[in-house]
Amino acid sequence: MPIKIHSITQVLAFPLIILAVAIMYFTWGRLSVYVAVPVLLLVCLYVFHGVIDHWWLQKFPHGPEPQLREWLQKYFRPYAKFSHKQLQTFDHRLMLYLNGRLFQSVGSEMRAVPEDIKCMVAAHGVEMCLNYRDYLIGEYDRIFLYKHPFPSPNHPYLHSVEVNKEDGVIILSLEQLTNAVLFPEDYFNIGYYAYAEAFADVHASLVFPDCEGTWTRIEEATGWSRERILALTGHEYLNLRSVHISVYFTHRDKYRAEFPEQSALWDKIFSPDL
């Protein structure tokens, strides 16, 4: 089985570190200009590691690690419905997305984000953009994750989802997102909502379905009242178009029955037939 290299820069850095140490060892007590060569190369690798690693993964694609694939198969319901071609594209792009975007745990305790949590978040955006070359969704390059609902400078009250278009940041509460992934019939999915906001911003030139004045029909399709959805997100107002997109992905059959015209247009926008 071929070895999967996730970070080519780490592989390249190792011999450079050995070389730098060897030069310093054999020239101990003397100033050697030769040590500058590996040091400069290490600096370049550090500065450009994201670009280099992303290029490597594009050129030599591989899918998720077994534990991540197992998580997708068990908890991310759309994964089991992908065709073979869609599955290959999704797996490859998921790894590229995880490599190309910064995931940061924020709040009272700053910690590294586990890979399965990154996978849970990223899967929503990757699925949404299967039909697009821009699977990274423009300049939305940072995903901040709280354990629970959070306040922010733009929205100084507890809420579970926020998309900062100026800074290219997606902010989510893991409590609400995890509930929506594990129990999709019981919780509005803030992951799809957030990526819908980012997607619509990046693809503003697209013609989107008319979604105004349809809250009552959204309630019919989901069984959730408007008040319940708003309470879960913590906002007094939500972008109804992004609500439609979220429900389109989580309640596809019921959404089609309630919104046949909108569904036809969403199919053209989000159809994963590459």
Dihedral angle sign, alpha carbons of residues 181, 120, 130, 238: positive
Closest CA to 96 of 137, 48, 130, 58: 58
First to last CA, the chain: 29
Strands 169-173 and 161-164: antiparallel
Q: Is residue 187 predicted with pLDDT exceeding 80? A: yes
Average pLDDT score over residue span 169-191: 97
Q: Quote the pLDDT of residue 27.
A: 74
Q: Quote the pLDDT of residue 1.
A: 42
Q: pLDDT tens-digit profile of 208-266?
A: 999 999 999 999 999 999 999 999 999 999 999 999 999 999 999 999 999 999 999 99
52 vs 265, more confident: 265
Q: pLDDT tens-digit profile of 28-48?
A: 756 567 677 777 776 776 666
DSSP state at residue 184: T
Q: Quote the pLDDT of residue 50.
A: 63
Domain spans of the chain?
Answer: 8-57, 61-270
CB 250 within 8 A of CB 192: yes
Q: Quote the pLDDT of residue 5.
A: 58
pTM of the model: 0.81
Q: Is residue 55 predicted with pLDDT exceeding 80? A: no
Residues facing residue 162 across a β-bridge:
171
Q: pLDDT tens-digit profile of 94-135?
A: 988 998 899 999 976 667 899 999 999 999 999 999 989 888
Q: Is residue 70 predicted with pLDDT exceeding 60? A: yes
